[in-house]
A and B are shown apart, each in its own frame.
Chain A
Amino acid sequence: MRSLFLLFKRFQVLLLFLFLEGVSLALIFQHNHYQNAVFYNSANKYAGSVLNVTSSVEGYFNLNSVNKRLTQENQKLHAEIEQLRQLSYHKNHKVNLDSSLLRQYEFTVARVVNNTTHRSKNYITINKGLKDGLRPGMGVIGPNGIIGKIRHCSKNYSSIISLLHSDLIVSAVIKKNDAIGRIKWEGGSYRTAKLLEISNHLKIAKGDTVLTSGYNKTFPPGTMIGTIQKLTTKSQTYYDIDVLLSTSFNQLTYVYVVTNELQIEQEAIETDSLTLNP
């Protein structure tokens, strides 16, 4: 009887161990489902507010470099404004741009409160959420280029799938010859991603600029992604291209969330045509 009791006691720990590991494993595999509505992540209220405090402390120490980057960004924006002003001044022919097209994209500034670059699935948390009009599926860009796509929103925070995430694929175009491909990050360094599906009869070279194409609804077309860093022809049909990302993901501070006013309309008409002509 005594030995039976001891045996049970011995099993009790093992059973508890197996139970807890089972729970953990279930959580892990459930979480790995893309777009699964998981509420326990760093976008939740408590984790979000603690991470907010952490990042404001860090933000204080980073003020210098942030200022420098903001100044650079301002400079770039000024240059761009000037360029556009010149362009409109010199344009003689009048083109009636639809006002809804002119105001298609709107931007919301948010601060990064948490960010990783070293995993195979990286997430970023920002301090704006549903309250500020953000919704899952919106694109996120930075001063230097694209960053990712919103996955979850809570009231005050959102969690973003970084471009450094094996699930995020972005339609891209090479600026020089309009060749369309797809950008995918396959792990490794946070500085480079792969550009896929560029046929190897096209003439491209190291240093060519890669932008977002007009085929995606998330990012405004022509947003910077990076430049071609390495270029080899391994397969018969496609190049093997490494793209040096223009955003340095390890020093994100402020980001812009892109609101595409026409996204719902575009999605609606695309699903319509799919149901009509399957």
Chain B
Amino acid sequence: MNQQVTFINYALSFIVHLVVQILFVHNLELFGLAFCFLYINFILILPLHTNRNVLLVSAFGLGFLMDGFYDTLGIHAFASVLIAYLRPFLISSIGSKVEITELNIQNTGLYWFMTYSFILIFIHHLTIFFFQQFNVKMFLDTLIRVISSSLFTLLAVILIQYLFYSNTKNAR
């Protein structure tokens, strides 16, 4: 029963991330440099002990759907699967002090959450932009876009944490 509820919760989260990305942040850009791929927040906040196969398949599904809207067949799927695969390794290498199940800023603290999110976001964006550009001539230009976009997405992810998760402990 409990498992079913969790499943529905995360299926809903999947849909919400998809809709928000397509309807609101799809065409968002700052100075023609920074783009927001907020949908990977879904992968970032899945519970700590999520089955890794589920993690990979759902990341692939989300990325593949995104590709349909960005006309980048395969690129988002590739990047999303990559970070979904790296996620458990990253978590164990950064290490967490307390036994937690839910990954949110309240449980992990700002510093841990930022480090964790930024590394994954950066890898994801780096993969996407380099697949899109695909030539060495524009290296610096692409790198600037990767960094500014990563910061933009990170800001959005942290903002969401403060908006939706920071008071849940008190509320419950």
Contact = CB atoms under 8 A, between A and B. Distances in A.
Contacts of A26: 74
Contacts of B22: 50-51, 54
Given A13-B56, A188-B141, A118 B29 contact: yes
A160 B105 CA distance: 43
B71 A123 contact: yes
Q: Which 5 A-B pairs have the closest CB atoms?
A: A27-B74, A24-B78, A28-B74, A31-B73, A24-B77
Nearest to B134: A120
Contact of A20 (B60, B71, B138): B60
Interface residues of B, number: 36
A121 B75 CA distance: 13
Given A21-B82, A28-B78, A41 B27 contact: no
B133 A51 contact: no
B74 to A, nearest CB: 3
B133 A25 contact: no
Interface string A123-141: 1010000000000000000
The A interface, classified by DSSP as helix, strand, loop or mixed, is helix
B26 interface: yes
A40 B77 CA distance: 13
A42 B73 contact: no
B77 A119 contact: no
20 contacts: A20-B56, A20-B57, A20-B81, A21-B81, A23-B74, A23-B77, A24-B60, A24-B74, A25-B74, A27-B73, A28-B75, A42-B70, A44-B68, A50-B69, A57-B23, A114-B27, A116-B70, A120-B134, A123-B71, A187-B141
A174 B134 CA distance: 32
Contacts of B53: 12-13, 16
B167 to A, nearest CB: 31
Interface of A: 12-13, 16-17, 20-21, 23-31, 38, 40-42, 44, 46-47, 50-51, 53-54, 57-58, 114, 116-121, 123, 125, 159, 187-188, 190, 250
A24 B131 CA distance: 12
B56 A17 contact: yes
Contacts of B27: 54, 58, 114
Given A21-B78, A120-B133, A28 B73 contact: yes
Given A21-B81, A40-B73, A41-B73, 8 more contacts: A27-B77, A50-B23, A57-B23, A116-B70, A118-B29, A118-B32, A187-B135, A190-B32
